[in-house]
Structure 1
Amino acid sequence: MSTAELRYANQFEIIRSEEKDRYMISQLSQQLNELYTKLFGLNNFHIYQPYIQRLSGFLYYLTTTLSNRQTIGEEYICLIQYDPIKKQIPSIIRRLLMIFFRIFGDLISKYILTSFIIRPIAEDFFHPKLSLETIELISRFLITFIERIHKIFFYLTGYYYNISKILTRIRYLIYTRSTSDSILIQTKFNHTIKFLSLCLCIQHIIESYTLLKQIALSINQHRHQLNLIAEEEKQKQTKIISEDITSSTDYVRCPLCYELAISNVALVPECGHVFCWQCIHTWVVDNQTCPLCKTNTMQSRIVHLINY
């Protein structure tokens, strides 16, 4: 005996449908890439290729979901989009939002995370600011972390393969016939799903740990570079100050002791030569002449210069 029923699609059925749609979009994207290269050549192709991929997805869903038709993957598995809140086919607005989030959701989430979460936290708790490379790594880690947590949740519950469907509350229904064999298959399927969820959790932990190490390394490298720059600036400032002091006091370097006569400066008025106060007094006591030009002078004639 078998009974027909309309039930929610399980994880494998949804994954098979998504893989079929992903393959069709990749084929369409490849054709658009070839069309672009024929029309405009390879110049700037790498710049526009991501936009061509998004355009491919939009055109695919425009001609299927937005046109009240099943996608190739949904038709292949016999899936029907369903609104569990209103218990009907999703409205055109909800389907349009789902497509918008699916195609541009990564850009929107990256902008929100970078502008309103990562940068403010970095400015508050990190000094100096994080580099653009580190911010890129952190945003990629957070987006990947959310996606992996969602995938684990999907494998465990079967709800919403895409985050875009979570935001728009769109699920899948499938029409099947249940038999005793199908019940046994469903039991084995549940065990397989639990095993896959465990494997996915282990993979998620390992890859998250690896990415966190990259982020920590990037932060340390950035801090090291900034410390080197700060140290170089400090050395430059010290050198400039030292040169200024030297240049401003070179003319009062004592010819006797070869030290800078900064405070105790003495002048021989007969010739105008400058010495240390202590040095010239010691010399004049014995010689009564200028040490440089041998001009006659006396100890009482030496002038002590103040604020020279």
Structure 2
Amino acid sequence: MPSFPTTHLGFPPAQQAQIIRANQRDLFHVSSLREQTETVLRSWLGTRRLTRWDKEVDAFVKLLYYGLTIGRATQTLGEEYTDIWQYSSKRGNLPPSTRRRALLIILSVFPAYALAKLGSNMSLNQMYPELGTWLRRIQKTLSITTEVNLALFYLRGTYYDPIKRILGIQQLSSFPENPHTRPPSYSLLGVMIGIRLVYRLVQELKPSLWPNSTVSQANDDSTSGSMNAFLDDRPISQVIKSQSLEDAPVVPAEDDEGTALDVASISEDLRQSRNCTLCLEERTDSCVTECGHLFCWNCIVGWGREKAECPLCRQSLVLSKLLPIYNL
């Protein structure tokens, strides 16, 4: 990447609109690359196995995209689209060093992957209950930090990414400034995000400021618990929390203990209509969602832990409201 020291060549800082469009473009290309990767892997592994490796695929795609762009000291496709370049404010307005670029890629991918991986490990969270509490606190802290950084970006126009703020990586534009035009201001968005942060702070402090409100919250929790659906003699919410799908073996339909049907006596034509749309295999431990679609129990629970929506109609998916079906 060529050197663009603003003090010598007079290149202006990148405008807020350019930075925002560049990041949106990068998100689009990462999402497109991930969809194509999942399509290839789904044909090899199947949907059920691919769901188990969803986080690894996401991390691999990001490493591939940013490694081939930032790692090679070139523009990302979003930066190329808006014609902006990265430079290090801590190196005298020179391009970021190899070490700083590597840190940018690593910090952008691996912390989020580690938190998502640990948070989805139900057996580990059961063995160490305090771990789940700490993970939620870390995720909440990172979420608040991201919002604070975004508010500062909209107010001041620098460092759209909090990791770039830590590493001192800014962006400049190859387009000269036009003294006759005024760039758009996004300060109102920064003020609105600040108001939302204040509201979240009030909600966090509410139990200590108004202790009586916790009583009504406990009553609401007990009411929702009393209306919980049951699987045999156990609440479905308890079954879902205690269930680990990572090492769940694939059960043939003939050995399915979660059905009252004699699967072996069903004709082949009818059995083909019993396929699960997630694993593309014959359903086992069949269950139905609120929107009326049938899936394998393991398939839809694994899906629902990642996305709270039906994979067919995209309606809201609540795992505690899944209904087991024994005769379909």
What interval of TM-score do these two structures reach, taking the shorter chain for normalisation?
A: 0.5 to 0.7
Map Cα deviations across residues 99-127 of structure 1 (whole Å, 9 max, x no partner). Answer: 1111123356899xxxxxxxxxxxxxxxx
Of 194, 200, 217 in structure 2, the residue corresponding to residue 201 of structure 1 is 194
CA gap of 1:162–1:179, structure 2 versus 1, over 3 A, is closer
Q: Which residue identity is paired with 1:101?
A: L
CA distance in 1, matches of 2:33, 2:203: 34
State the SS of the aligned residue for 2:173.
strand
Q: Which residue identity is paired with 1:146?
A: T
Map Cα deviations across residues 165-222 of structure 1 (whole Å, 9 max, x no partner). Answer: 123221101122333422xx23xx2xx32211111112233345557779x97xx97x
**Contact in 2 for aligned 1:58/1:103 (Cα 8 Å):** yes
Q: Which residue identity is paired with 1:195?
A: L
Counterpart in the other structure of 1:265: none
1:160 aligns with 2:165: no
Match runs of 1:176-187 below 5 Å: 176-182=175-181, 185-186=182-183
Deviating above 6 A after TM superposition, structure 1's stretches of 4 or more consecutive aligned residues are 108-111, 211-214
State the SS of the aligned residue for 2:192.
helix
Counterpart in the other structure of 1:67: 72
Counterpart in the other structure of 2:107: 101
CA gap of 1:179–1:169, structure 2 versus 1, over 3 A, is closer
Of 60, 68, 86 in structure 2, the residue corresponding to residue 81 of structure 1 is 86
> Shift of residue 164 of structure 1?
1.8
State the SS of the aligned residue for 1:67.
coil
CA distance in 1, matches of 2:202, 2:36: 38
CA distance in 1, matches of 2:54, 2:203: 29
Task: Show structure 1 runs of 5+ residues with no match.
Answer: 112-128, 226-308
State the SS of the aligned residue for 2:94.
coil
Q: Which residue identity is paired with 2:23?
A: E
**Contact in 1 for aligned 2:55/2:113 (Cα 8 Å):** no
Match runs of 1:47-58 below 5 Å: 47-58=52-63
CA distance in 1, matches of 2:42, 2:146: 33
Task: Show structure 2 runs of 5+ residues with no match.
Answer: 1-8, 118-127, 223-328
**Contact in 2 for aligned 1:105/1:164 (Cα 8 Å):** no
CA gap of 1:105–1:58, structure 2 versus 1, over 3 A, is same
Of 96, 117, 123 in structure 2, the residue corresponding to residue 90 of structure 1 is 96
Match runs of 1:141-290 below 5 Å: 141-182=140-181, 185-186=182-183, 189=184, 192-207=185-200, 209=202
CA distance in 1, matches of 2:167, 2:105: 10
**Contact in 2 for aligned 1:110/1:143 (Cα 8 Å):** no
Aligned-residue CA RMSD in angstroms? 3.4
CA gap of 1:34–1:211, structure 2 versus 1, over 3 A, is farther
**Contact in 1 for aligned 2:12/2:177 (Cα 8 Å):** no
CA distance in 1, matches of 2:166, 2:25: 23
User: How many residue pairs align between the two structures?
Assistant: 196
CA distance in 2, matches of 1:177, 1:9: 10
CA distance in 2, matches of 1:28, 1:213: 43
**Contact in 2 for aligned 1:29/1:56 (Cα 8 Å):** yes
CA distance in 2, matches of 1:27, 1:196: 28
Of 26, 32, 50 in structure 2, the residue corresponding to residue 45 of structure 1 is 50
Counterpart in the other structure of 2:139: 140
**Identical amino acids, percent of aligned pairs:** 23
Q: Which residue identity is paired with 2:86?
A: Q
1:14 aligns with 2:32: no
CA distance in 1, matches of 2:86, 2:178: 25
**Contact in 1 for aligned 2:115/2:135 (Cα 8 Å):** no
CA gap of 1:29–1:213, structure 2 versus 1, over 3 A, is farther
Counterpart in the other structure of 1:118: none
